[in-house]
Each structure stands twice: as structure tokens, then as C-alpha cells.
Structure 1
């Protein structure tokens, strides 16, 4: 039985699926980690970074519901390949534009909007496709493997990205990311995926009907519905800390090199990698997922509190803003922070995959993503504006207090899951 499971877990299609995700994640991480630095270097501000993060997320969220319908109506493999190839074209075009010296922040924001839309089409198809590649009893280990490989891919990005940016400029960053999407698309082409066409109502009436079915499924499942609300707050409060506060902290409060920023990002992703492995090892045998939620919430709140203390001006004065000690403390805390996020997010994916029929899979994941991730662009904007008026340590401390309340309410209400 164990050999049979191992064989299924390591099947060729699943390996190709993992390889494609990892390759594109390396390229995306290389680009995303350098964008805040590049925006600040060409005259942008915290508000500009917030806007970039906003446009990285919002278009995908807007298209998610329709992407879910498309993912349940069309061949998910073709959607993945097509969006990867189009993303490659858009990013390589940025490379040629920057090489010619025509890059502008406004153009960067426009292209990022296009990339976000393509990503919005890609994600629901990917989430819906995974349960068709592995056995249902292997979903926990498979999701753990996907999260681990994605983290490993993203782990390589910060070091590679900062080295490329520091030595060759932004053009080389765009070139590498574009090529990564081309390779990812090639890997996905080789997946042998069985597409079963469902009989559905055609036209706009059918699309509306499919959306209504997906919404009704979520609203009838109290746990999935409440998970959406819980992660809406999580993404609003927590994610902008990585995308807005950390790069701003490095550029305005600390005296470290850009390469050290890359090392910090690597440690953050290493925390996510460890969290992914922990989910598979500790929670892969049918345990209640609330156990992972409790551990993740405790680590999240503890690391956020330590991070806010580390940001106090007194802490920076005592520890120094360019010392190995401060960097080690900052990296360790953010690594725990990242680990906690994985212990919260992966169990949610597993629960939804177990509870959702295949014909609803893309729609449910797209709607859950739209609701829960809706907090990310709003949070990025809110943090960007708040940091123009309020000290960074007070902003994070306020976030900690809010998260204590939210985590307590959710865990108390769902202790049986």
C-alpha cells in the first residue's frame, strides 16, 4: 500500500506540475523582490510601492470569479500553458523597453496590471487541476509538496534577484523572469491531463448560473465561508508587512546593502519552506486542521509582536541599524512570521479540496481567493498611506492587537475542524 501511494505521489504528471510551478516561481520571485528597490531607486515612494502592490493583486482578484467559471468549463492545462506564455511575452517586452531606456513607472504599473490579470486566470485552473493529478488521500502530502517546492523556488529568487539587479540592472531581471515563464509553459505542455467536459448552460446566462452555484456552495458551508472572512483580515493585516514595510524599513531606517535585503528575503522564504514541510509531516495523517491553526496563530502573533518591538526607535538605537545582531534578530523573526503564514494557509487549501466536488473546484477556489485575498491590495494601500503619517512601529503594533482579537474569535468558533 505504501509503495502504491509513493508511486502515485511521484507520478510524472505531478512532477511536471511541480517543476513548472517552481521554475516560474523562481523567475517571479527574482522580479518581485527587486521591484520595491527599483521603484525607490527611480524616484518612487512608499505610496508608489503600495500602488504597485495594489496593482499586483487587485486585477487578479477582480477576474477570479470569471476565471473560476472558465477553469470549470475549459481544459485547465490549456489555461495554464496559455497564461504562462502570454506572461512571458509581456515580461520580455518590459526587458526590451528597459534596455532601450524607455521605462517609466506608469508603464511598469500598466504591464503589472496585465500580468496580474493573467495570474488571476492561471491560479484557479492550477488549484482545480491538482486534485486530478493525485489520489484524494494524498492531498495533504501533495499540497505540502507544492508549497515546499514553491517556497524552494521563491527561496532562490531574492539572492539571484538582488545579485542580478546590483550587477546587471533591471533588464536582466526582466529577461530571467520572462524565460522562466517560457520554461514553465513547456513543462506544463507535457502533463497528460484528462479533461472531462461538463454539460453546462451556454452564454452569459450559463456564466451567471455557474457563479451562483459556486457562491451557494460556499455560503452553505459555514467553515469555508468563515475561513474566507478570517483570511480576508489576515491578508489585509499581515501580507503588506512583507511587501511594503520591510523594503521601506531597509531603505529608510536601516543601513544595509541591497544584497543583504536579498538575504533577508531568502530567510523569509526559508521559513515558508519549513512551514510547508511541517504541514506534511505533522498534519498529514488525518489530524484536525485546527491544530495547525492554533500553532500557526501563536507563532504569527508572537513574531508580529517581536517585529513591532524591533521597529521601535529605541530598539534600533540600542541594537544598531547596521549590525549583524539586528539583522539576525530581524531575519529570525520574519522567518517565524513566514512559517506561521504557511501553517495557517495550507490547511485551508486542504480542507477545501476535501470538501469540494471536482466540478465546483475552480469556481470555489477562485471565489475563496477573491474574498480572502481581497484584503491584500486594500492592505497595501492602507499601509502605504498610513506610513506617510504614522511611525512604522505604531502601525505594526496596532496590527498585532487586531490580529489577537481575530485569531481568538476564529479558533474559539471552530475548535472541531
Structure 2
């Protein structure tokens, strides 16, 4: 819901700057905490607990977060969640500095950080259309995607470098500092007024029910969400099982695993830049469909790659397709969903994202010990390719 704001370019620039600074600190610390747990416990059970702590709160809180984002000031919601995460991280740093270094404290902080992300993600996606005119949404969302991908590339390297010369507690303080800077910048941004007064006297449960009714009555949005869930489930072998395949088929050297992660991240940065500058086809769903089909082809390429460098090329190209698939969907929802429902619809997307990949791993993870990962990639890649072709020609999914 963009109202007349002649300074929207400077406002969105400040907003993206604030998000970049905050996201960098958050990603840095997220990797640091996971690696600290890995190195100090060397326990699969502890890593499983850490993983659950990382995504379960997002699923639980996202239902309520969507209602809150539609009911209250979205900028303040982002600032508040960022502040709570920073406060929890600061308390953890102080406890570590004083010598109390229980791994269970890290799990508590991971829970809080995950809950904060569950609020922030729909709030950010709902806030952007308040600032940016519709005709510029693809470019701005593309830039936002590029920034997120760039952080994905830089954060592991930066976190590893910092942890090699400093303690975890010192690294934690970086997130506190970046959060304070990000909140301070966000505080200065003037965002067009958004009021949703009819929801003020309704309960959270009523708000959630309204969201499900809205979803039920809008076939296009429902079909889009189903497509997203199906593709993410099918993409889970490419997302999680490729390190296993690399170690089994090409060698277990650390540089190979690092190269695999970095090529995908670099590809995602290129893809975000591409969609921001190009803007995609006039029919937004055609952009998503073509990216989906290409993703499926590259998954097949991963499965049949005879040499490691061929695998890396396919992995880079998969990274490029991701923002070209995701960004048009985000823009379509920003354009087609009523502003008063943005928070709830994006919270449904958040829930779908948080559930689909783990569900995919429940299906495909055990299979990886029975059949070759390459076979799984080829099979799921063919399915993703067919989904892309169906989406391109579907009359139900027209953007």
C-alpha cells in the first residue's frame, strides 16, 4: 500500500541499508553459534536440537505474527523484534564473559532468534509495498534478494575468520552493535501511514481465521502457495543432500564442500542482480515458471555431472535461478493481496518455507542411504522441470 511519498528512493535505500547491517550481524552470529555447538559437543543429537530450535519457533509464531503485522505499525514490529533478539544476544554474551558457558543457553537464544525471524520476515515483505510504488517492486525485491544472498556468501567466511581470532562472546557483541545501528537507521525512516483499525478489537484467533478464509477464497494465492510448497519439498535433496553426494562421489576434502556452498551463494547474488536489473517477463508467473524449469534441469545436471567442475557449474546456475523463481512470487503477492492481509499471507509463506524443506528431508533423507543421491537429484529434478512447464502453460496461474 504505497501512498504518495516523493522520497521513496531515499527511504527504501535507508531501509535496505538498515536490513543489510542487521542481517550481516545476525548471519554472522547464527553461523558462530552453530559452529560453536558443533565444535564443543561433536554431537548429532545436539545439532538436531539446534536445528529444531532454528526453525520450529518460526512456524509457531508466524501464525500470530501475520495478525500482528496487519494490526500494528510494521516498522515498529521490525524494530521491536530486532531489539529483543539483540537483548537476548547481549545477555548471552555477558553470561559467557562471566564464565557461564552452558550449551543450553545457546539453544534458548536460537529459539528467541528464530521467533524474531518469524516476525521480521512477513513484516519486511509487508512493509516494502508501503514505501515502494508498484512499478518498482520487482527491482527493489531483487535488490533485497541480492543483499540476502550476498550475506549468505560473506557471513560464513567472516564468521570463521572472526572465531579464529576472537571468542564466541566477542562475536556475539557484533550482532548487538549491528542491531543497534540497524534500529537507529530504521527509526529515522518516514513510512507512509498505514492503519488497519477494523482489526484492533478482534482476537488473534479471529485474525488467523480471517487469514485462512482469505486464502481459501483466493484461488490464485492458494495455487501459488501450493506450488511453492511442492517445489521446496522437491528441492530439498539439492538443498541438503549435495554435501553428502560431493563427499561420496568426488571426495571428502573440505575445499570441495566450501566450493559447493560458495558457488550456490555466488549464483544467488548473480540471480538477484539479474532480476533487479531485468525485471523478468511481463507475465510474472512466466519468469517463475522458466526459472523453475531451469532449476529442474540443473538438478538433473547435478545428478549426471561426471566431473566436479561440471557439478560446480550446475550448482552456480541453480543459485542464479533461485531469486528469479522467488522474487516474482513475492512481488505478485505484494501486488495482488490486499494490504490489510499482507502480514498474514506472508506469514503463510513463512510457515510453508519452514515446513516444506524439513518435510522434504523426512522423505528424501532416509532414501539417500538406500539409493544414490544422484538418482534422487535426477528424479526430483524431472519433477521440478515438469512443474515449471505446467506453471508456464497453466490458466490458473497467471501473473
TM-score w.r.t. length of structure 1: 0.81
Where does the alignment leave 5 or more consecutive residues of structure 2 unmatched?
none
C-alpha contact 1:235 1:373 (8 A) present in aligned 2:
no
Counterpart of 2:204? 207
Counterpart of 1:144? 142
Instruction: Work out the CA distance in 2 between the residues paired with 1:295 and 1:202.
Output: 42
Q: 1:250 to 1:416 in 2, by over 3 A?
A: closer
Counterpart of 1:359? 340
Of 281, 287, 296 in structure 2, the residue corresponding to residue 292 of structure 1 is 287
C-alpha contact 2:57 2:114 (8 A) present in aligned 1:
yes
User: Which piece of structure 1 moves more, 377-386 or 113-122?
Assistant: 377-386
Q: Is 1:346 aligned with 2:327?
A: yes
Offset at 1:226?
Answer: 1.0
Offset at 1:69?
Answer: 0.9
Offset at 1:337?
Answer: 1.5
1:168-317 alignment to 2 at 5 Å?
Answer: 168=166, 170-202=168-200, 205-239=202-236, 241-242=238-239, 244-246=240-242, 254-257=251-254, 264-283=260-279, 287-310=282-305
Counterpart of 1:374? 355
Q: 1:192 to 1:144 in 2, by over 3 A?
A: same
Q: CA RMSD in A?
A: 3.3
C-alpha contact 2:142 2:327 (8 A) present in aligned 1:
yes
Instruction: Work out the CA distance in 2 between the residues paired with 1:383 and 1:173.
Output: 35
C-alpha contact 2:153 2:265 (8 A) present in aligned 1:
yes
Offset at 1:118?
Answer: 1.2
Instruction: Work out the CA distance in 1 between the residues paired with 2:258 and 2:31.
Output: 8
Instruction: Work out the CA distance in 1 between the residues paired with 2:94 and 2:100.
Output: 9
Offset at 1:45?
Answer: 5.6
C-alpha contact 1:211 1:363 (8 A) present in aligned 2:
yes
1:124-156 superposed Cα distances (whole Å, 9 cap, x missing partner): 221111111111222122212222233333332
Of 160, 163, 171 in structure 2, the residue corresponding to residue 162 of structure 1 is 160
C-alpha contact 2:293 2:385 (8 A) present in aligned 1:
no
Offset at 1:362?
Answer: 1.3
Offset at 1:262?
Answer: 5.3
1:247-266 superposed Cα distances (whole Å, 9 cap, x missing partner): 556788744347x7556544
Counterpart of 1:84? 82
Offset at 1:296?
Answer: 0.8
Instruction: Work out the CA distance in 2 between the residues paired with 1:399 and 1:28.
Output: 32
Instruction: Work out the CA distance in 1 between the residues paired with 2:333 and 2:162.
Output: 39
Counterpart of 2:392? 411
Q: 1:332 to 1:168 in 2, by over 3 A?
A: farther
SS of residue in 2 equivalent to 1:197: coil
1:280-310 superposed Cα distances (whole Å, 9 cap, x missing partner): 33335x7001331232123211221222335
Offset at 1:186?
Answer: 1.9
Of 124, 128, 131 in structure 1, the residue corresponding to residue 129 of structure 2 is 131
Instruction: Work out the CA distance in 2 between the residues paired with 1:248 and 1:179.
Output: 36
Counterpart of 2:116? 118
Instruction: Work out the CA distance in 1 between the residues paired with 2:43 and 2:138.
Output: 41
Offset at 1:91?
Answer: 2.6
Offset at 1:80?
Answer: 0.7
Instruction: Work out the CA distance in 2 between the residues paired with 1:35 and 1:396.
Output: 30
C-alpha contact 1:283 1:292 (8 A) present in aligned 2:
no
Q: 1:392 to 1:288 in 2, by over 3 A?
A: same
- Tell me the matched-pair count: 394
C-alpha contact 2:297 2:382 (8 A) present in aligned 1:
no
Counterpart of 2:50? 52
Offset at 1:343?
Answer: 1.1
1:19-63 superposed Cα distances (whole Å, 9 cap, x missing partner): 111112222332344555544433446675455334322211221
